[in-house]
Amino acid sequence: MPATIRDVAREAGVSVATVSRVFNDSGPVKAETRRRIMTVARRLRFVPNTAARSLSTRRTHAVGVVLPDLHGEFFSEVIRGIDQVVQRRGCHVLVSSSHNDRAAVAKALRAMRGRVDGVVIMAPDMDVPTLVANLPERLPVVLLNSDLGHGQYDSLNIDNFGGAYAVTRHLLRRGHRRIGMISGADHNHDARERLRGYRAALADARVEFREELVAPGAFTESSGHAAAKRLLALAPRPTAIFAGNDSMALGALSALRAAGLRVPEDVALTGFDDVPMARYVTPPLTTVRVSIAELGMRAAARLFDSLEAGGGAEPVHELLPTELVVRCSCGAQQPVLEAKEAGS
pLDDT tens per residue, range 168-224: 999 999 999 999 999 988 878 889 999 999 999 999 999 999 999 999 999 999 999
Q: Is the per-residue pLDDT at 10 higher than 80?
A: yes
What does the pLDDT average to over 123-142?
A: 77
Residues in the chain: 344
Tell the burial category of 130 from Cβ atoms under 10 Å away from its Cβ (0-12, 13-18, 19+).
middle
Q: Residue 311: what pLDDT?
A: 63
342: pLDDT strictly greater than 50 = no
Q: What pLDDT sits at residue 335? A: 44
Tell me the C-alpha distance between 225 and 337, whole Å: 26
Confidence check: pLDDT of 302 > 70: yes
- Calculate what percentage of the chain has a pLDDT beyond 90: 50
Mean pLDDT of 306-311: 78
Per-residue pLDDT at 108: 86
Q: SS3 of 154, please?
A: strand
Confidence of residue 167 (pLDDT cuts 50, 70, 90): very high
Taking the C-alpha atoms of residue 262 and residue 260, their distance in angstroms, rounded to an integer, is 7
* pLDDT (0 to 100) of residue 4: 86
CA angle 258, 262, 265 (to 5 degrees): 160
Give the model's pLDDT for residue 150: 55
Kindly state the DSSP code that residue 317 receives in the 8-state scheme: E
In this model, does residue 255 exceed pLDDT 50? yes
Q: What average pLDDT does the chain have?
A: 86
**Residue with the larger pLDDT of the pair 300 and 314:** 300
Burial of 150 (0-12, 13-18, 19+ CB in 10 A): exposed
Residue 336 CB neighbour total at 10 angstroms:
11
Q: Report the distance separating Cα 18 and Cα 2, nearest Å.
A: 20
Q: Which residues contact 71 (CB under 8 A, 6 or more apart)?
A: none
Cα dist from 161 to 29, 38, 158, 297, 339, whole Å: 55, 54, 9, 22, 18
Pairing of strands 317-320, 240-243: unpaired
* pLDDT bucket at 332, cuts 50 / 70 / 90: low
Which pLDDT score is estimated for 185?
83
Which of 241 and 56 is assigned the larger pLDDT? Answer: 241
pLDDT in tens, 60-103: 788 999 988 887 788 889 999 999 999 988 888 999 888 777 78
β-strand partners of 319: 157
User: In DSSP terms, which residues pair with 323 in a beta bridge?
Assistant: 289, 342
Could you report the per-residue pLDDT of 17-68, keeping only the tens digit for each? 898 888 876 678 889 999 999 999 989 888 776 545 544 446 778 899 998 8
- Confidence band (pLDDT; 50, 70, 90) for 315? confident
DSSP 84-153: HHHHHTT-EEEEEE-TT-HHHHHHHHHHHTTT-SEEEE--TT--HHHHHHHS-TT--EEEES-TTTTSSS
